[in-house]
Amino acid sequence: MGTNVKFYDALVGRSSPIQVEVDMFGQLLSGRPRPSDLNGGTTDSGRSIAVAGGVDHQLGDRFSWRIVQAEYVTSHAFGQDQGNFQISTGLSLTSDM
């Protein structure tokens, strides 16, 4: 008898670039999950933390290609922990901050 749970994580934080031939970055994000039990409709809130790092290659002033981003996300809700490892790639819009 398993639990049918759906998680939504909302995380905020800041990346810190390290300049080499490519831009390497690391980030630590924190937030709150909003899981709900799809069988009974109950909800809970807990904590979420993500630790990530990756490599970007500049494609001009405004865009870069995120060659790789590896991320570990852990969430705690309904009295249990859940951890997920994610790898992604794609286009990144660069802002002037």
pLDDT value of residue 1: 47
Average confidence (pLDDT) over 64-87? 88
Domain boundaries, the chain: 5-93
pLDDT value of residue 20: 58
Q: What is the 3-state secondary structure (H, E, C) of 19-72?
A: ECCCEEEEEEEEEEECCEECCCCCECCCEEEEEEEEEEEECCCCEEEEEEEEEE
Contact 3, 39 (CB under 8 A): yes
Summarised one tens digit per residue, pLDDT across range 1-56 is 456 777 777 878 787 776 657 888 999 999 887 777 667 666 667 788 999 999 98
